[in-house]
Each structure stands twice: as C-alpha cells, then as structure tokens.
Amino acid sequence: ITVNPNVVPTFNPVAAICSGATAPVLPGTSTNGITGTWSPATVSNTATATYTFTPTAGQCATTTTLTVTVNPNVVPTFTPVAAICSGATLTALPTTSNNGITGTWAPALSNTTTTTYTFTPTAGQCATTTTLTITVNPNVVPTFNPVAAICSGATAPVLPGTSTNGITGTWSPATVSNTATATYTFTPTAGQCATTATLTVTVNPNVVPTFTPVA
C-alpha cells in the first residue's frame, strides 16, 4: 500500500499594497502545482489579512496561508507658511514633507494672490494628497489729511508718524521747510504691507503790501 506524503502548496510572496490600491488576485495553482481555492475569496485593499489556500480534494496536499500586507496612506505634513505682503519674495515650497513624503506642488507659486496649493506624493509611497494655503495680503496706501498752506517763515507743521488708516512710518525729508513748497515721502515701517505715499506742503511767499502814493 503506497502512502503519499502531503505536499505543502507554495506561493510567491505578494508585495505589499497601499490602502485603496488595486488588490492582487491570488493564483489558483501553487508554484509546486497544487490547485485549490482561497478563503476569503477576495483580497482586501483596505486592511492586512491572511488568506487560507485549501487544495482541491485528492491531491495529497495540506492547506497553507498567505498574508497580503496593506499599508495605510500617510498624510504629508508641512510647516505653515507665514502670510506675505503682495509682491514680497516667496520661497519655493519643500518637495519633501516633514514626515518624509516626496512629491510635487501645483499650481505655480503666486506672490500677488492668496492661493491654496496641492501636494501630490510621488507614486509608490502610500501617501495622500494634501493642501497648503499661503495668504498674500494686499498693500495698503497710507492716507493723510491735507496740510494747510503756510506763509513763508511761519512755523512749519510736524507731519504725523501714523497715517489716518493706521500705518506707521517716517518722512523724507524729515523736517518740513517753512520757506519753500515741497513734497515729502512717507515710508512705512517694514512688515505692514503698505506702500510709500507723498504729501505736499505749500509755502506761500509773503506779499509786500503796495499803496497808491498820496498826492
């Protein structure tokens, strides 16, 4: 009486997949020629699972198992970018996230408009897309109340260091002339998202009164 030993079906390992990727189809025949069926019959693409292969009856073969690893998708993380003033220099966004995911950004950077950028990971990293918003603040024009004209030699006004809309800064020239009409330039203190502005102080010449001679 011949007693055949039971053969253990063998299978090539299945490469790990990312969650949500196309699940592999397990082979119905082992690498050493044993046919059979798997349980569960369908491979999950959302969770790591172990599948049992049951040989078709009459083959003198044992059951065996095969594990398919499903890696979770990682969300790339990035350090927030501080708001900038319109027209300011904007540094290129990093192509590697804080947690090691490489990829690319779209659309191209804008230093004039607030924009949300999408990061798409390079294929094969089990990572999701993510977004990053960079706020671009518009530049404010400082406003000032008009300065009343003065007479030549009168006390010159002192120009305010803060505009009527709250912008601080300095004037050039720093001192107002009381002898000639001049235009002064206001330069905002850095970091306020404001443009320069000008203000003219009119200095009227003194008029010498004239009279008709008395006969």
Claim: this prediction has a pTM higher than 0.85? no
* Preceding omega of 173 cis (within 30 degrees of 0): yes
**Amino acid identity at 45:** N
Rg over alpha carbons for the chain, rounded to the nearest Å, is 39
Per-residue tens of pLDDT for the chain, all 215 residues: 888 899 999 999 999 999 999 999 999 999 999 999 999 999 999 999 999 999 999 999 999 999 999 999 999 999 999 999 999 999 999 999 999 999 999 999 999 999 999 999 999 899 999 999 999 999 999 999 999 999 999 999 999 999 999 999 999 999 999 999 999 999 999 989 999 999 999 999 998 888 888 87
pLDDT score for 4: 84
pLDDT score for 2: 84
CB 34 within 8 A of CB 54: no
pLDDT score for 212: 87
pLDDT score for 210: 85
CB 64 within 8 A of CB 50: no
pLDDT score for 211: 83
**Amino acid identity at 100:** G
pLDDT score for 215: 74
Q: Write b or e for each residue in 80-103: b if 16 or more Cβ atoms lie within 10 A of its Cβ, otherwise e.
A: eeeebbeeeeeeeeeeebeeebeb
